[in-house]
Amino acid sequence: MEHAIFFDMDGTLFQTNLILEPALEATFEQLRTNNLWSGETPLNLYRDIMGVPLPIVWEKLCPMHSDATREASNAFFQQALIHEIEQGTGALYTGVEETLAQLSEKFPLYIASNGQLPYLNAIVEHFALHRYIQKVYSIEGIRSGNKSELVANALKEQHITSGFVVGDRASDIAAAADNGLVSIGVCFDFSQASELKKADHIVPHFDKLVSIILK
């Protein structure tokens, strides 16, 4: 097999911003109830660090808390996210389904994400993305928490020699570069210009991927 395409999930295929605030607010309200937090929910901080592995997320959000509290908070947060997905709060970006349908006719498509597998599977199931996506790869399966290693393992497992990584953060661009793939950065909710400047291509709308990839 030659070409394949790896997609990030949060901020690339899925509008995480729509479910982030209610899920995070519920999580920190739980912490307040247990006298483990005071003040506002650090929503803006989460938006800034979106895309890094979850253990690092909770180290940043709760720097004074124990590992046990961080793990419990993350578990609560994951369930809150899944609840929002199942309630229909979230959405794919405009053009995602049409673009995936078109690309899947020519290439195998995969998810490579820093999200946890139950959360990723909830999105795939809710939007029936299994019509287009052959497999979901979660950073949970990589001890190092490094997306470059995650993509490397997927390449080896699927016998892929070339292709693309599509994402919105520095880890996506690095995963492409470290594995000899072409990087395509998407300028959506969580993207940062400083992180995308090393991408081989940058697109403002999802359907612009087709002309780049098919060319």
DSSP 186-210: E-STT--HHHHTTSSEEESSGGGHH
3-class SS of residue 182: strand
Say which residue the tokens 């594995």 belong to.
179
Whose CA is closest to 153, among 179, 177, 171? 179
**Buried/exposed 9-33: b ≥16 CB within 10 Å, e otherwise:** bbbbbbbbbebbeebbebbbebbee
Query: Do 123 and 93 touch, CB atoms closer than 8 A?
Result: no
pLDDT tens per residue across span 182-211: 999 999 877 778 889 999 999 999 999 999
Whose CA is closest to 133, among 1, 45, 5? 5
Angstrom CA distances, 150 to 8, 113, 139, 211, stand at: 12, 9, 6, 27
- The pLDDT of residue 1: 54
- The pLDDT of residue 215: 80
Give CA angle at 184 (182, 185), nearest 5°.
145
pLDDT tens per residue across span 11-37: 999 999 999 999 999 999 999 999 999
Say which range, 56-70, 76-90, 179-193, has the weakest mean pLDDT.
179-193
Alpha-carbon gap, residue 107 to 158, rounded angstroms? 12
Secondary structure letter of residue 76 according to DSSP: H
Confidence of residue 61 (pLDDT cuts 50, 70, 90): very high
Rounded average pLDDT over 125-146: 94
Torsion angle defined by CA atoms of residues 40, 61, 10 and 7, in that order, rounded to the nearest 10 degrees: 170
Rounded average pLDDT over 79-88: 97
- Structure tokens given for 103: 């690309």
Query: Do 161 and 2 touch, CB atoms closer than 8 A?
Result: yes
Torsion angle defined by CA atoms of residues 208, 209, 212 and 215, in that order, rounded to the nearest 10 degrees: -110
Mean residue pLDDT of the chain comes to 93
Say which range, 44-53, 114-123, 159-168, has the weakest mean pLDDT.
44-53
pLDDT more than 90, % of the chain: 83
Question: What pTM does this model have?
Answer: 0.92
Whose CA is closest to 20, among 40, 45, 47? 47
Confidence of residue 81 (pLDDT cuts 50, 70, 90): very high
| Residue 54 pLDDT greater than 90, yes or no | no
